[in-house]
Structure 1
Amino acid sequence: MSADLNAATHGARAAMVDRLVSDGVLTDCRLREALLRVRREVLLPHAYVRVSGPGADPIEWRLLQGAHPEDREEWFGLIHSDESILLQRDGEPLDALRRGPVSGGHMSSMSTYTPATVGALQALRVEPGHSFLDLGTGPGVSLALAAAVTGPGHATGVEHDGHMSAFARRNVDDLALGATVVEGDALDGHPAGGCYDRIHSGIGVPCVPTAWVQQLAPGGMLLTTLATRTPSWPGQVLVTRTPAGEVEAVLKGTQRGYRPMFGHRWLTALDHRARIEADPGRSRPTTLAPPADDAYGFWIAAAHMLGNGSLVRDFQAETMTIVAPDDDSWAVAGPGDGTVRVHGRRDVWAELEDLHARWDEAGRPDRHVVELPDGGGPQHVVSGTGRNALTWTLPALATVPRQDAMTTPSQGPVAAVSPAPLPTGTHPRSPS
């Protein structure tokens, strides 16, 4: 690396860290040093930029190659920004990508945008000497940062895609951090490595895999996204194993979370947007004002309890708009006048009214306890106390296709979701 480029990369990393600190995202001193140390240009040597707008088919992309003089400035700014970096279409090989315009395909791997990675690693409180397991490691950004904190020989990443695992292994090795990348099914964890002090999952799951819990060491922590069919209201589960070996798990709603793996069909409001604008539905009175975006305790309950995650929100709409795509139904909140407009056979807003009343009676809980039976079995969620508590049962892991039996990439890439509301210019996030 030339002296000028070396200075530029140091400067870009320092500016990125300063931004994260000033935004209140980055507070951990060890992670701050890791972000300054890990050379992102090694892990993210190229990037796709989407050219076409929402709903375009086929999607038009442009591939930036960091080594190319005409791409370098845009690529360099992108990989040090707060954007996720799009890296792979449809599981393609990564050793002979051609720069320039590309048509079609769907992203099968991206890097998680940096604030989300920082938030996850800080929640796990990674420390030197911790054994760290990164599941769905993608290009290895979170793995590399964790390795810079834990020290050589303590961090392992598992990636199912052979092309991506080879790509990440080569680049992580070039950083000389002592991290390991193995190819395998993230749902199995990495039993060959024993038990881990910290486990980070870069894929969303419908329930917590028993294998992950079994590989959590006493005093350990596990963090994953608990996903439903709706990308609008993800939840984050923090599992801890006490020094005595007891397992505790807490689910909290969050603004962003990771996507599930291939084969998972996401709901979308995009197909209904024009119809809703043309006919919002019949108006009726309501006593429920649109719940706040940060009422995460309510929204995570809605994601799980209302039609098994069959509702999705259009965050681009002028007023709160909730759609049930499978039932061709929607609700559009009035502009602060005590009314709501509903369309279709499902009164979506009535379901929200009922659930909100139950959430009130339960004490407006913002955290939900997940019961993880020893040796597997149904996982139940409970929030609140007494007869007014909200409860539901999580779907079995078998409802999500295994990574060795993928359906077509168009049914949903291994990526991560940013529900809402998103800053301008952000992308769906993915395993880092």
Structure 2
Amino acid sequence: MVARLEANGDLGPGLVREALLALDREVLMPQAYVRRSAPGEKPVRRDLLDWSEPQDRRELLAVLYGGDSVLIQHEGEPLLGRPRRGRHDGSITSMSTTMRLTSSLLQELDLRPGHRVLDVGTGAGVTSAVACYVCGADVVTLDRDPHVSAAARARLGALGYRPDVVSGSGEYGWPERGPYDRILLTFALPYVPQPCVEQLAPGGKLLVNVVTTSPSWPALAVVTRSPGGRIHAQLRAVEFAHLAGHGIKRIHLPAPLRERLETGQACDLSASRSFRSDQAPPAEEAGGFWLALDALHPGLVRHWGVEGLALGAPDCGSWMTARPDGTGSWSVATSGPRDIWSEIHQTAARWQAAGAPAVYHLTLEEGGEQRVSAGHGTHALGWRLPPPSAPADHTTSQETTT
């Protein structure tokens, strides 16, 4: 697993690599779910692989060290003492994140021996194990689910690690043990949680994925506190992100809209049009542009399985496809009340005028307002992140994902 991460450029030399090489994942995750039903088949059928069963070990090792997400909890069940049996339907409520994402964030976190670390979203305990290996005993790991916390406490202890394992709302952090030199949130939010920022020590760093309702263009917020106490924050597009936190609304392409994007056929031909354009949409690699489009013209989802560019707006049924025609022009088809092609080029013009930023400045006001910005004067480009929503129950506010 580590060799594959290195070969793909997702992991470099250093203490994180050493920690991953030393980590017996079968101790942290002695059970894991695997899907047995075919894609689209209902009900969804899953089996629980168990390390204590010799016939399961080969398949479980492949799951644990394959690098993909590992499914560890179904419908909020207790993890300790769980019998080996299959599950039908229901949802996975905790998992260990893909190692490509985990390793990249752990490296960016720049863990050092002696750091005080807050790991928000315990999950299987991979992040906590790495933090304990690198930094020592001054690690707090926080999860909304006490069953997940209980299992992580026992299994990390079996590896010789003794972090402070606590249960509560991730958005509020754990001020009792702060401030922290490093804070990592392993679920995505529409904003940066201010209580966690307040728990950041001078010289500290906080990482959290920031998302909108769309799953297509996630971002990473990097928040640092200077030795003098001043907060600096940036926002940049990323390819992969943690799952959205518990209760956060997400939109997806329904099957009929996906079919229209794949075929280019509108159900109402009077509401559609096709044309050629010499204007190319910004490249996929222009992450700063796509963040701006998502913020300024929300509600769009990209269909990544279609050649060229295919975007749909589930709320109103609008869609747009654009494919290169081989002559340097683009063949464009649009349908619905939204003119998505125009939205793209209006946003592209503003983004270019602001200097085509790949990284945005993120302003975190003490009153709670959070603003994203780039450029200056008449060429400024920016938007506000939504205000935090206060959960009614502080112990049940976030999904666990790592």
Scaled to the shorter chain, the TM-score interval is over 0.9
2:359 maps to a residue whose letter is R
Q: Is 1:245 the counterpart of 2:229 in the alignment?
A: yes
Aligned residue in 2 for 1:302: 293
Q: Is 1:124 the counterpart of 2:115 in the alignment?
A: no
Q: Is there any run of 5+ residues in structure 2 with no aligned partner, and where?
A: 267-271
Q: Is 1:322 the counterpart of 2:311 in the alignment?
A: yes
Aligned residue in 2 for 1:91: 76
2:28 maps to a residue whose letter is L
Aligned residue in 2 for 1:39: 24
Aligned residue in 1 for 2:269: none
Give the conservation status (yes or no) of the 8 Å contact 2:244–2:399.
Answer: yes
Mapped partners of 2:377, 2:80: distance in 1: 58
Q: Assess, with a 3 A threshold, how the Cα gap between structure 1 residues 28 and 353 changes in structure 2: closer, same or farther.
A: same
Moved more, 53-62 or 252-261: 53-62
Give the conservation status (yes or no) of the 8 Å contact 2:120–2:185.
Answer: yes
The aligned runs of 1:269-288 (5 Å cut-off) are 269-271=253-255, 272-278=257-263, 279=265, 281-288=272-279
Q: Is 1:379 the counterpart of 2:370 in the alignment?
A: yes
Aligned residue in 2 for 1:334: 323
Aligned residue in 2 for 1:168: 152
Q: Is 1:188 the counterpart of 2:172 in the alignment?
A: yes
Q: CA deviation at 1:265?
A: 2.4
Instruction: Give RMSD over aligned pairs.
Output: 1.9
Mapped partners of 1:59, 1:349: distance in 2: 38
Q: CA deviation at 1:399?
A: 7.4
Deviation track 1:285-326 (CA, whole Å, cap 9, x = no partner) reads 33432432221111112222212xx11111122332111101
Mapped partners of 2:97, 2:119: distance in 1: 13
Q: Assess, with a 3 A threshold, how the Cα gap between structure 1 residues 305 and 82 changes in structure 2: closer, same or farther.
A: same
Mapped partners of 1:258, 1:349: distance in 2: 29
Mapped partners of 1:225, 1:107: distance in 2: 20
1:283 maps to a residue whose letter is S
1:320 maps to a residue whose letter is L
1:29 maps to a residue whose letter is G
The aligned runs of 1:104-183 (5 Å cut-off) are 104-151=89-136, 153-183=137-167
Give the conservation status (yes or no) of the 8 Å contact 1:38–1:148.
Answer: no
Aligned residue in 2 for 1:312: 301
2:351 maps to a residue whose letter is W
Give the conservation status (yes or no) of the 8 Å contact 1:334–1:341.
Answer: no
Q: Is 1:203 the counterpart of 2:192 in the alignment?
A: no
Aligned residue in 1 for 2:9: 24
Give the conservation status (yes or no) of the 8 Å contact 1:227–1:259.
Answer: no
Q: CA deviation at 1:401?
A: 7.5
Aligned residue in 2 for 1:349: 341
Mapped partners of 1:191, 1:57: distance in 2: 44
Q: Is 1:396 the counterpart of 2:387 in the alignment?
A: yes
Q: CA deviation at 1:104?
A: 0.2
Q: CA deviation at 1:18?
A: 2.2
Mapped partners of 1:154, 1:201: distance in 2: 17
Mapped partners of 1:37, 1:277: distance in 2: 46
Mapped partners of 1:123, 1:400: distance in 2: 30
Q: CA deviation at 1:102?
A: 2.1
1:209 maps to a residue whose letter is P
Q: Assess, with a 3 A threshold, how the Cα gap between structure 1 residues 402 and 121 changes in structure 2: closer, same or farther.
A: farther
Q: CA deviation at 1:219?
A: 0.3
1:340 maps to a residue whose letter is V
Report the secondary structure of 1:264's partner residue.
coil
Mapped partners of 2:393, 2:105: distance in 1: 24
Q: CA deviation at 1:53?
A: 4.3
Mapped partners of 1:92, 1:350: distance in 2: 48
Q: CA deviation at 1:48?
A: 1.3
Deviation track 1:96-126 (CA, whole Å, cap 9, x = no partner) reads 4443542101111110111211111111110
Q: Is there any run of 5+ residues in structure 1 with no aligned partner, and where?
A: 1-15, 407-412, 416-430
Q: How many residues align?
A: 392
Q: CA deviation at 1:384?
A: 2.2
Q: CA deviation at 1:95?
A: 2.6
Report the secondary structure of 1:397's partner residue.
coil
Q: Report 1 or 2 for greater relative contact order, CA contacts < 8 Å, sequence distance ≥ 6.
A: 1
Q: Assess, with a 3 A threshold, how the Cα gap between structure 1 residues 403 and 286 changes in structure 2: closer, same or farther.
A: farther
Mapped partners of 1:276, 1:402: distance in 2: 41
Q: CA deviation at 1:79?
A: 0.5
Aligned residue in 2 for 1:62: 47
Aligned residue in 1 for 2:203: 219
Mapped partners of 2:80, 2:62: distance in 1: 23
State the identity as a percent. Answer: 39
Aligned residue in 2 for 1:358: 350
